[in-house]
Amino acid sequence: MDELSPIKVLGLLRSKLSNNSHLEVTGEGAYVWRASFSFFPPATVEDLERLKSYWKLPSSYEQFLLYSNGAELFIDDRYGQWGFSLYAVNDILIKNTRWQSLYDDWSSSFLVFAECLGDTDLLILDTNRHSLSLPNECYVLDGDTGYPVKTWQKNIIAKSFVQWLDRLIVAQGSKYWHWISQ
């Protein structure tokens, strides 16, 4: 089996999109809707070096940024209440400073890489916590803004960025990590 990479996962997704970057998806409750997608030009090496001065970047996330410096995935064009905004490098630095200022118990190992539209939950790379099977990767956490930061560290939703991305696409943009708790 080929190694999973964000480029492979996103390449497959992009091959399924219409000419105007839409995909018809079936959501929870048999709700069918058209999701839109936007991918941005690749980050520069200088951009990555700037990020690396703050965090040790996992391999798959670095590959993603070199492919697309941020993205908008599964955006609900009709109501604007769903989707995932994956931050570009400049936004990562600004948004992480903002999020850190809002929480007293913020961990310096947290790298917020995306925001869920509609509820502002955060998607976080915990750059100090790694799976033994994936030493160059780190856990992805669900930063549910309705709960204290200390609970987020228990909310591991993937062993790596690419695993999170792959599962999100398989789940057609649904928050698959909520399915278990319901």
Which tens digit of pLDDT belongs to each residue from 22-75? 999 998 888 898 999 999 999 999 999 999 999 999 999 999 999 999 999 999
Report the predicted TM-score, pTM, of the whole model to 2 decimal places: 0.94
Domain membership of residue 36 (yes or no) is yes
The CATH number of the domain holding residue 71 is 3.40.1580.10
* SS3 label, residue 33: strand
Kindly state the average pLDDT of the residues 109-130: 93
Residue 182 pLDDT grade (very low, low, confident, very high; cuts 50, 70, 90): very low
Residue 157 · residue 140 · CB < 8 Å: yes
- Model confidence pLDDT, tens digit, residues 66-115: 999 999 999 998 887 899 999 999 999 999 999 999 998 899 999 999 99
Distance of CA 106 to the CA centre of its chain: 19
Range of the domain at 70: 6-173
Sheet strands side by side (includes 139-143) = 22-27, 31-39, 71-76, 84-86, 110-116, 122-126, 139-143, 156-158
CA distance 172 to 168: 6
User: Is 45 inside any structural domain?
Assistant: yes
Residue 179 lies in a domain: no
Asked if the structure places residue 21 within a domain, the reply is yes
Q: Is residue 13 part of a domain?
A: yes
Number of domains composing the chain:
1
Output the pLDDT for position 1: 39
Question: Is residue 181 one of the residues assigned to a domain?
Answer: no
What is the Cα–Cα distance from 116 to 73, expressed in whole angstroms?
10
- Let me know if residue 136 belongs to a domain: yes
Would residue 1 count as lying in a domain?
no
The confidence score (pLDDT) of residue 131 equals 83
